[in-house]
Structure 1
Amino acid sequence: MEYNRFAVRLNIRWFHLWLGLLFGAFICVMGVSGTIVTFRPQLTGLLSPAAVSSSGCTERADWNRAEAEIEQYTGSKIDRLYFPSKGDPRIQMRIHGAEEKIYRHITYDGCAGKILGETNLGWMYWMVDFHHNLRADRTGRNWAGVIGIALLLS
């Protein structure tokens, strides 16, 4: 009888330990990926090509010509614009990429009126998909929700 009670306690302790480690790792990974997703615009600005000159310029870009240039450069339509903080002439443009969830990011200098280059953010979209769906589409989103609710109620 004493041996059976000891074995049950040992198994419960082992289960509790590993469940805590797994849930703790889940919280840490979701926290780090959530932080990266939250600061996506700032990270994009940091990783983008530098502006030609940012000192005291006023935007003089012809946006119709800029749109035509960008669509010719990328072969795709502009999906979204990210406007910079004050004093930064760079405008980030999100363009549809080859894959459904992956976009291309083009940096355009509003003062110089020219394309500065492209920022490779494929890893960022991987991170967003991981944070939202655990890289498993709808099933991953459901599992993340179930785990989150279980952690909230525990």
Structure 2
Amino acid sequence: MIIRKIHQWLGLVLGVPLIIIGLSGSIYTWQPELTKLMYNDLYSAQETTENLTPLEISSLLEKRNNKRIDTFYFPERERETFIIRFYNEELYHFINPKDGKDLGQMDSRRGIFDSLLKLHMSFFVDGGKYFVAWIALITSILLFTSGIYLWYPKCRKFKKRDFWNWVSIKKKSFAISWHMMIGIYVSVFVIILGLSGPYFTFKKQYVAVLSVVTMTESDKPLEVKSKGAGNVLNIQQTIEEMNKYFTSYYPRSIHLTQDKEKTIYLSWMKDKSLHAGKRERAYMNVDIYSGEPIFVFNPDKASAVDAITNKWIAPIHFGELGGLIHRIINSLAGLGLALLSILGWLLYYKR
């Protein structure tokens, strides 16, 4: 049967990548808790009698290091500290939010978990993210739909005891019972993950498809440039400008630039804690000379396609939409994907 052959050979060829994607995704679901556990000294604020503002901290850090700040992250989710990076420097500095003390540096914001994310998205290969995105689509559309098609005629003959009483059954029956049961349990969730994941690689194409489906257009311009002239804004001036907008939101990040044609990127968040539900984040591109807004994204006024991509895709894919239960399910789905590949190989070997 052609569908059986497609299912079999896709599974065999994509087995190793699927194991890597599944296991890395399963672990990364718990990134907030694991990062806080492993880097507690950098992520936890230290108590002190001082209580400096972000403006005061930025001035203190630039004066102390005799360097200009390039990037400024405010506390969010599991992290209680500021993260800053200076121009022409790769290290991220973790700063105590009370007194501006430098608690330490890392070459990434999440340490080993940024590497785990790169493994999940690209296998550490240049251009690998496109390969991973296509695997996700093929898996969700072809592997699981063909698997369900093959399973359905046999579903009434499937015996529950084949799943639980595995000691008394043959190895081949054991493998196919587990393969079928795990496949059905995780199929819907892996399809959702497979269809949401490619957004992080093919954003323009993803938005284009969603625009057709929702019959709405994205409000985001294809390109934003600064139009002014003179001296570029420093971090202190940028923080002052940032305080004028989205006052009901928490500030999230500032990204300055030395490219005089580009813009300063500012972002805010509605809730800075790790929470269930949609992500509501506002952002703005401002002129690097005047601080005037060039493009403003307000989640409360977003079109349907922008609302889906900015509010829903990330919490769906990372398992945060439904809170702890959703994260557990996502983690198990990633683990199940890896087990399905292993059991599929075992079935082929024992055929």
Aligned partner of 2:194 among 31, 48, 54:
31
Provide the TM-score with structure 2 as the length reference.
0.32
1:1-154 map, 5 Å: 9=154, 11-12=156-157, 23=187, 25-37=188-200, 47=220, 50-53=224-227, 60-75=232-247, 76=249, 78-82=251-255, 88-97=261-270, 101-120=279-298, 122-123=307-308, 124-133=310-319, 135-154=321-340
Length, aligned pairs only: 138
- The question of whether the paired residues in 2 share the 8 Å contact of 1:66 and 1:114 is answered with no
- The question of whether the paired residues in 1 share the 8 Å contact of 2:190 and 2:337 is answered with no
Deviates most, 80-89 or 139-148: 80-89
Measured in 2, the distance between the counterparts of 1:21 and 1:125 equals 27
Closer/same/farther in 2, CA of residues 35 and 111 from structure 1, 3 Å limit = farther
How much has 1:109 moved relative to structure 2? 1.8
Provide the TM-score with structure 1 as the length reference.
0.63
- The question of whether the paired residues in 1 share the 8 Å contact of 2:186 and 2:333 is answered with no
SS of 1:93's equivalent? strand
SS of 2:324's equivalent? helix
C-alpha deviations, 1:102-121, integer Å up to 9, x for none?
22112112144322232145
User: How large is the Cα RMSD of the aligned pairs?
Assistant: 4.0
Identity %: 13
Measured in 2, the distance between the counterparts of 1:50 and 1:137 equals 36
Note the residue ranges of structure 1 that are not aligned, 5 or more in a row: 1-7
How much has 1:77 moved relative to structure 2? 5.0
SS of 1:29's equivalent? helix
The residue aligned with 1:3 is: none
Measured in 1, the distance between the counterparts of 2:250 and 2:314 equals 22
How much has 1:21 moved relative to structure 2? 10
Measured in 2, the distance between the counterparts of 1:60 and 1:84 equals 9
How much has 1:29 moved relative to structure 2? 2.5
- The question of whether the paired residues in 2 share the 8 Å contact of 1:33 and 1:127 is answered with yes
How much has 1:90 moved relative to structure 2? 1.7
Measured in 1, the distance between the counterparts of 2:321 and 2:241 equals 35
The residue aligned with 1:4 is: none
Note the residue ranges of structure 2 that are not aligned, 5 or more in a row: 1-152, 159-179, 207-218, 274-278, 300-306, 341-351
Measured in 1, the distance between the counterparts of 2:336 and 2:256 equals 39
Measured in 2, the distance between the counterparts of 1:108 and 1:21 equals 47
The residue aligned with 1:5 is: none
